[in-house]
């Protein structure tokens, strides 16, 4: 069946609809297949309830098209389905799930704890329509202290934990990681350089001079002493910050008593650095070494979950989430579903503080503890410092949701103005913006960004490495053709327009509904209101309501021809061209078979279009630079005209790393032995020439 998970444990129990299974008396097979009425859905569940296992596990409900409607877990699946088959007593949300169900699958597990973890994993992966969904699940940065080298390094890490070492986090932002690493370098003098740079050193680098590294590369510190610094850093980041500070204070006093004032000064500076780590935070909990704080605020049917991270007694930042959830769910239910998904791919701390009690709190704590390898406590504090931490997070959640609703309101007004100005058939729910980036035709990249009522959808951005060998270097039209052709050929193959077709316009009741102004389905479920009903039809459609091209009439014609050739001629197109002096505010919009449009300089819609274009340009340039740097690493500096092996060695000997060469000024490059002013200009231009 389409949309089903293919890599579930083969030992799981699977129940399919088939002709041998009889429907209850009076029911028609066609109605059950449609799953469009409550009676038909209940008939499906009755049939499956007879074969459901009396054990813990996870169940998935599918609609007639094979798409997952809902993922749930139960201590006893048979009893759970028996409750679903009751003729009355269900809330509106459950009734909608039952009515739409055409098939069910079961996965048995050994314990209810395993069922809870599997449920969270499947919800994140399958994104069922009726579950609480964690919308923004970007990976968090961590601090890594490596263990695969005799002189471990401290560095920022994001992604899979494939490198041996100790990982500490999560941090809410890269800025928080960088700030903490800088402070920890002053406190523990660990190296942050790469292994290649480390092995090539013949004298200490600048970080040693400014007391942010102990220079193990040139043996300024003994191996045993450096290993001691590593142990102290690991202990500090593992939650033993007070013990580390006491030991350093004792060492400082001992050195001072021995009149070794130079060594005492080193310990004094390290203590000052540790104090700076723990005193420059917005919140400084005295009695909380390690905890995650979650607070949920609901308003108008929408939810915001604010997360604060505390490690080693310091605030490592916060992040706001806006989960998609049925508006009938209370704050505890939303928070409970959110937590299970949030910790699906990251370890939980020893303490989790919540603003609201959640269902099955003890079970979730047991599951997170089993997964993390240590005891996890989930608490709803009622007094003291922990209560203050939760209250602070709750204030932030309330403010974040207020900003989100205001931004969404403005966004909806702009999208409606978009439709009116460019005579679109409907207010756009998905706008795709395309741009190219290259330098003299090399490392060419096409980029696509996506925007909608909730703002930029960065998890749906795509880049296209231009592969056509017959393109003339710098042929922007050819690059745009290739990008659009690859994008829409794949879109047509994976999601034919007929199955994702959107309604011609908003329902009349939506356009006049006060809910429309700023409340575009964030957290709403189908059937709750007209806007939510519209969300159910096309929120997840991968087809754009508008394609925006960076360029003029030529780019528009190239895009139009390409879309017509692949069978997507009905997708609305607009090309945005800058003025003669390429200055913002003087843009001209080109449309097929219509005269160009110029907006007033202070028109909010013009600013919105500029934001879309600038975001596409930023993403395209970033993708191009990443590809160019990769090529440089692979081909070496010889890619730069006039740079051979000798000059490459001279540059690396002088600067140490490629990144340092890239950041060097023209004057610094010219100081390198063997690098003339002309060659320095070529090197500088290569790294700083503006991408087109």
pLDDT digits (tens, 9 = 90+) for 199-230: 888 888 888 888 889 999 998 888 888 998 89
CA terminus-to-terminus distance, the chain: 46
The residue among 91 and 472 whose pLDDT is bigger is 91
Sign of dihedral through CA atoms 345, 351, 355, 359?
Answer: positive
The residue among 441 and 482 whose pLDDT is bigger is 482
Q: Which two tokens stand for residue 89?
A: 């007593």
For residue 81, is pLDDT > 80? Answer: yes
Element (H, E) at 1: none
The residue among 467 and 664 whose pLDDT is bigger is 664
Phi and psi at residue 403, to the nearest 5°: -65, -40
Fold designation for 29-126? GIY-YIG endonuclease (3.40.1440)
Averaged pLDDT, 360-382:
90
CA separation for the pair 268, 289 (Å, rounded)? 23
For residue 17, is pLDDT > 70? Answer: no
Which is it for strands 314-321 and 546-550: parallel, antiparallel or unpaired? unpaired
For residue 472, is pLDDT > 80? Answer: no
Task: Check: CB of residue 544 under 8 Å from CB of residue 431.
Answer: yes
DSSP 287-352: S-SSEEEEEEEEETTEEEEEEEEEETTEEEEEEEE--B--TTS-HHHHHHHHHHHHTTSS---SEE
At 635 the pLDDT is 55
Sequence-distant (6+) residues with CB within 8 A of 105 are: 4, 8, 12, 14, 15, 59, 60, 62
For residue 161, is pLDDT > 60? Answer: yes
Q: Which of 71-75, 316-320, 467-471 has the lowest mean pLDDT?
A: 467-471
pLDDT digits (tens, 9 = 90+) for 235-251: 887 767 677 777 778 87
Please tell me the pTM assigned to this model: 0.55
For residue 353, is pLDDT > 90? Answer: yes
Q: In percent, how much of the chain has pLDDT > 70?
A: 79
Which is it for strands 546-550 and 431-439: parallel, antiparallel or unpaired? parallel
CA separation for the pair 646, 53 (Å, rounded)? 72
CA separation for the pair 647, 653 (Å, rounded)? 10
pLDDT digits (tens, 9 = 90+) for 24-48: 333 333 333 334 678 888 888 888 8
pLDDT band of 526, cuts 50, 70, 90 = very low
At 351 the pLDDT is 92
At 440 the pLDDT is 55
pLDDT digits (tens, 9 = 90+) for 677-687: 888 888 887 77
pLDDT digits (tens, 9 = 90+) for 420-452: 888 888 899 999 999 887 655 566 788 899 988
Dihedral in degrees, nearest 10, Cα atoms 604, 610, 613, 614: -130
Measure Cα distances from 322 to 103, 135, 301, 342 in Å: 30, 7, 12, 12
Phi and psi at residue 295, to the nearest 5°: -135, 135
* Alpha-carbon 111 to chain mean position: 31
For residue 309, is pLDDT > 80? Answer: yes
The residue among 283 and 289 whose pLDDT is bigger is 289
pLDDT band of 629, cuts 50, 70, 90 = low
For residue 688, is pLDDT > 60? Answer: yes
The CA-based diameter of the chain, rounded to the nearest angstrom, is 97
CA separation for the pair 508, 200 (Å, rounded)? 70
pLDDT band of 352, cuts 50, 70, 90 = very high
CA separation for the pair 16, 27 (Å, rounded)? 18
For residue 498, is pLDDT > 70? Answer: no
Q: Which of 268-282, 374-388, 517-531, 554-568 has the lowest mean pLDDT?
A: 517-531
Q: In percent, how much of the chain has pLDDT > 90?
A: 10
pLDDT band of 457, cuts 50, 70, 90 = confident
What is the domain partition of the chain in residue ranges?
29-126, 142-279, 422-502+541-623, 636-688
For residue 278, is pLDDT > 60? Answer: no
pLDDT band of 637, cuts 50, 70, 90 = low
Compute the 3-state secondary structure of the chain and give helix, strand, coil in percent, each to the nearest 5. Answer: 45, 15, 40
Sequence-distant (6+) residues with CB within 8 A of 573 are: 546, 547, 549, 556, 559, 560, 563, 591, 592
pLDDT band of 624, cuts 50, 70, 90 = low
Q: Which two tokens stand for residue 147?
A: 């263990």
Locate tokens 């009903």: which residue? 533
Averaged pLDDT, 488-492:
89
Average pLDDT in the chain: 77
CA separation for the pair 578, 590 (Å, rounded)? 11
At 443 the pLDDT is 67
CATH topology of 29-126 equal to that of 422-502+541-623? Answer: no
pLDDT digits (tens, 9 = 90+) for 598-608: 888 778 888 88
Nearest to 56 by CA among 138, 111, 1: 111
At 135 the pLDDT is 67
Averaged pLDDT, 509-538:
33
* Alpha-carbon 458 to chain mean position: 8
Averaged pLDDT, 483-493:
89
pLDDT band of 534, cuts 50, 70, 90 = very low
The residue among 397 and 631 whose pLDDT is bigger is 397
pLDDT band of 306, cuts 50, 70, 90 = very high
Fold designation for 422-502+541-623? Nucleotidyltransferase; domain 5 (3.30.420)
At 27 the pLDDT is 36
Averaged pLDDT, 457-476:
77
At 14 the pLDDT is 30
The answer to whether domain 636-688 has CATH 1.10.10.10 is no
Averaged pLDDT, 144-166:
87
The residue among 285 and 517 whose pLDDT is bigger is 285
């Amino acid at each position: 069946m389409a949309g089903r998970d293919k890599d579930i444990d083969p030992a799981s129990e699977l129940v399919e609809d088939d002709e041998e299974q009889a429907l209850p008396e009076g029911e028609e097979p066609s109605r059950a297949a449609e799953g469009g009425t409550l009676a038909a859905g209940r008939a499906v569940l009755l049939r499956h309830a007879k074969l459901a296992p009396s054990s813990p596990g996870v169940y998935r409900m599918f609609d007639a098209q094979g798409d997952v409607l809902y993922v749930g877990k139960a201590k006893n699946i048979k009893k759970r389905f028996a409750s679903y088959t009751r003729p009355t007593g269900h809330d509106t949300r459950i009734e909608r799930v039952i009515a739409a169900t055409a098939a069910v699958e079961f996965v048995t597990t050994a314990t209810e704890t395993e069922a809870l973890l599997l449920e969270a994993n499947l919800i994140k992966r399958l994104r069922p329509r009726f579950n609480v969904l964690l919308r923004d699940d970007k990976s968090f940065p961590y601090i890594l202290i490596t263990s695969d080298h005799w002189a471990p390094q401290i560095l920022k890490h994001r992604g899979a934990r494939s490198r041996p070492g100790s990982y500490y986090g999560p941090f809410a932002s890269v800025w928080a990681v960088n700030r903490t690493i800088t402070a920890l370098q002053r406190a523990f003098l660990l190296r942050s350089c790469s292994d290649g740079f480390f092995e090539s050193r013949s004298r200490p680098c600048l970080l040693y001079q400014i007391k942010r590294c102990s220079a193990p590369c040139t043996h300024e510190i003994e191996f045993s002493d450096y290993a001691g610094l590593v142990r102290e850093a690991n202990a500090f980041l593992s939650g033993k910050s007070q013990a580390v500070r006491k030991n350093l204070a004792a060492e400082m006093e001992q050195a001072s008593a021995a009149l070794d004032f130079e060594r005492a000064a080193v310990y004094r500076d390290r203590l000052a650095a540790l104090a700076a780590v723990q005193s420059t935070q917005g919140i400084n909990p005295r009695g909380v070494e390690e905890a995650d704080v979650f607070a949920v605020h609901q308003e108008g049917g929408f939810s915001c979950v604010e997360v604060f991270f505390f490690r080693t007694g310091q605030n490592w930042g916060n992040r706001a989430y806006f989960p998609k959830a049925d508006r009938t769910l209370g704050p505890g239910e939303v928070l409970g579903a959110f937590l299970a998904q949030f910790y699906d791919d990251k370890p939980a701390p020893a303490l989790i503080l919540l603003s609201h009690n959640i269902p099955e709190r003890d079970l979730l704590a047991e599951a997170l503890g089993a997964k993390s390898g240590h005891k996890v406590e989930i608490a709803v504090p009622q007094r003291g410092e922990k209560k203050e931490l939760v209250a602070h997070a709750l204030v932030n959640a309330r403010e974040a949701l207020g900003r989100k609703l205001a931004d969404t309101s403005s966004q909806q007004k702009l999208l409606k103005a978009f439709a009116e100005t460019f005579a679109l058939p409907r207010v756009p729910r998905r706008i795709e913006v395309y741009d190219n980036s290259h330098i003299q035709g090399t490392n060419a990249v096409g980029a696509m960004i996506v925007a909608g009522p909730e703002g930029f959808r960065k998890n749906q951005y795509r880049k296209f490495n231009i592969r056509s060998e017959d393109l003339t270097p710098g042929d922007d039209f050819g690059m745009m053709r290739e990008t659009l052709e690859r994008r829409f050929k794949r879109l047509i193959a994976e999601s034919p327009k007929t199955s994702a077709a959107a309604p011609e316009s908003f329902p009349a009741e939506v356009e006049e509904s006060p809910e429309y102004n700023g409340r575009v389905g964030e957290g709403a479920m189908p059937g709750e209101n007209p806007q939510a009903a519209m969300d159910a039809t096309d929120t997840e459609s991968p087809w754009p309501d508008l394609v925006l091209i960076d360029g003029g009439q030529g780019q528009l014609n190239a895009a139009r021809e390409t879309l017509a050739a692949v069978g997507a001629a009905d997708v609305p197109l607009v090309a945005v061209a800058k003025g003669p002096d390429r200055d913002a505010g003087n843009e001209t919009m080109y449309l097929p078979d219509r005269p160009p449009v110029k907006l007033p300089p202070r028109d909010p819609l013009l600013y919105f279009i500029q934001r879309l274009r600038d975001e596409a340009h930023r993403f395209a340039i970033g993708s191009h630079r990443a590809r160019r740097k990769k090529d440089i690493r692979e081909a070496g500096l010889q890619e730069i005209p006039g740079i051979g092996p000798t000059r490459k060695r001279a540059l690396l000997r002088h600067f140490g790393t490629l990144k340092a060469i890239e950041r060097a000024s023209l004057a610094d490059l010219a100081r390198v032995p063997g690098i003339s002013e002309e060659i320095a200009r070529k090197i500088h231009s290569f790294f700083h020439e503006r991408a087109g």
